[in-house]
Amino acid sequence: MNKRKLEAKDLFKLQSITNPVISPSNKEAVFIRTEMSEKDNKYYAYLYHVNLETDEETQWTHQKENISSPRWSNDGKYIAFLSNREDKNQLFLLSTKGGESKKLTNLEKGVTSFNWSPCGKKIWFVAPLKEGANWDDEPKKEENKKPEAYVVDKMKYHADGVGLLPQDVYRQIGRIDLETEEIEQFTKGNHQHSLQAVSYDGKKLVIGVNREENQDFSFKQPIYLVDTETKEESLLVDEDGYFGGASFSYDNQYIAFVGANRTFQNATHAEVYVYNTQTGLKEILTEGIDAPVGDYAGGDLQQGSSAPNVVWTKDNHLYFQLSSMGDVRLYFASLEGELYPATPENEHVYGYDIANDGTFALGTISNSVFPGELFRLNLTTGERKALTSFNEKLLEEVELVEPEAIVYKGAKEWDVHGWLIKPAGYVEGKKYPLVVEIHGGPHTLYANTFFHELQLLAAKGYGVLYVNPRGSHSYSQEFVDAVRGDYGGGDYEDIMAGVDYVLSEYDWIDKERLGVTGGSYGGFMTNWIVGHTNRFKAAVTQRSISNWISFYGVSDIGYYFTPWQIGADMTDIDKLWDASPLKYAVNVETPLLILHSENDYRCPIEQGQQLYITLKGMGKETSFVRFPQSDHNLSRVGLPNLRQTRLEQITGWFEKYI
């Protein structure tokens, strides 16, 4: 059978299989399947059940909605989940014996997250609440409400994907009685609370809350152990950085969580911590590994995917994800110091759960030519079995190209890791153009995972080079930190060294027909490249940064991200300007397409506007495409039709100029 070439519109045929959760009996599980509807121009996520004794798979929800966060009750009789079927996410309950799901909450601002009480009669939840209000007397949404002025008195007042942050609204923890449906508010005060874990005896919670009055320059959320009856608190951790994702061991003696301090600001590797509730001592289980705990892979599939930070087994062993050398693997750890990978190389474990007896895992797993399905993994033998095949039909239809892993010397003679994809339908002896793709972050990574955009470029007849320059995760702490204070320096050298490497090693690449593209940090780097070299015949910059001076004040993270990454604030305008691609616009000779989302608060659209008007005013070859109703995540979870348009714009620009 001759396979056809992959197309942009195949986005609508890709299925995202995520969020496996094993039942307490280890005999069944649930997971989520997400699809994009071309007709409705929306995403729909459905709850599925799988019998782990027979492998029989059953769809449990069918409404056009987004299901998220499925959780089993401790007796395995119910599944609770969040659904946006009535706009805001609300809490629903579904009997595992069948029947319709029951709506448990009707809160004005929805429910953020939840955890079962071990008794199975109550559910703890987190939901936004107006200052001084109660959930049972929240005002209902007013029709034809007049617009009101938004008074800003904080620096953290807007966020990408949200817009202006609700004022005088705070996330509070509450619990709902499943029999009476009465809600009791547990936390109070003008603070943002998170609920991370409930002990197996129901007596303790792990919560996160920062009670500092001014949090503009506070980058932490202290974690507390709280008595559910007396509300007495004991502090687990209180230091700058991210700490969270806590989980109790089955005997309640230990609490595991993941944390990254601010030693290297947002480039610091995350570690697995374990707190002993009896001794009050903390230890770091992963300090012997020079790689970050968690999943930092970039991509354009796996919508709605989330994975637990850590999972315990009943014999007090732990499992977690680790980003390592371009992979995201499942790792095992014991309290005695054992530490080793539980899944192989060359793949992306983007979701998982562990049977409580430690005998098997469920994993949602992808690789470079495999969009991802649900697998059962034998943790003793390493054997695996596919439980789903939702993407099988598409894989039978389209030609995908296996990337070749490469390693070369970058700046300072450091090893740089990347991949090269040959064009689909490659013919020996023929010359082909090459497109260089640059990831965002910069502290993310290209991984051994499916990336529709990269395969699409190959289908259009391009070779594709994508690498992990310094600043990328999954390598050493020194490597990921090396980009800070050196944007456009060693990272630029790493990328261009990769171009030189493949041109010297692969004679099928036409060195006169090179293109470059990237988004966010990758957009910054694309802008930087075309201002510093004329080697590329065409470039596409996406959701980019062009001017660090204006970025400082307009981005939702600008005022702190800029000093972290560039090493300067508004007291050192010269340093910010020297690091700004806009300064070098006069040097640009490469035709540049500028793509930007109108509701991007991370890299606001004025960054693209400045670059476009400057280049256009200089008579440069450029074009500007604006995407309405879209934020910084357009390429991942944006409106489906605009995601397709974006891909067509990229490939169309390269077809025109390369």
State how far Cα 174 lies from the chain centre.
27
Per-residue DSSP letters for 430-472? --EEEEEEE-STTT-B--SS--HHHHHHHHTT-EEEEEE-TT-
Residues 607 and 523: their CA atoms lie apart, in Å, by 10
Query: Residue 363 carries which DSSP code?
Result: E
Strand partners, 235: 224
Residues 322 and 332: their CA atoms lie apart, in Å, by 10
Residues 182 and 107: their CA atoms lie apart, in Å, by 13
Strands 509-519 and 432-438: parallel
What is the chain's length? 658
324 catalytic residue (yes or no) = no
Residue 74 vs residues 78, 121, 356, 373, 558: alpha-carbon distances, Å: 9, 10, 12, 26, 44
Residues 93 and 654: their CA atoms lie apart, in Å, by 50
Q: Inter-axis angle of helices 490-505 and 521-530, to 10 degrees?
A: 70
Q: Which of 445, 468, 467, 454 is nearest to 298 (CA)?
A: 445
Contact by Cβ (8 Å): 554, 606: yes
Residues 28 and 40: their CA atoms lie apart, in Å, by 33
Tokens representing 135 are 């959930």
Tokens representing 623 are 């074009």
Residue 219: count of CB within 10 angstroms of its CB = 15
Q: Which of 499, 656, 507 is nearest to 590 (CA)?
A: 656
Residues 235 and 87: their CA atoms lie apart, in Å, by 37
117 catalytic residue (yes or no) = no
State how far Cα 506 lies from the chain centre.
33
Question: Looking at 194, 520, 550, 580, which residue is catalytic?
Answer: 520
Question: Looking at 193, 249, 632, 635, which residue is catalytic?
Answer: 632
State how far Cα 32 lies from the chain centre.
17
Q: Is 609 helix (H, G, I), strand (E, B) or coil?
A: helix
Query: Which residues make Cβ contacts (< 8 Å) with residue 381, sequence separation at least 6?
Result: none
Active-site residues, by number, are 520, 632
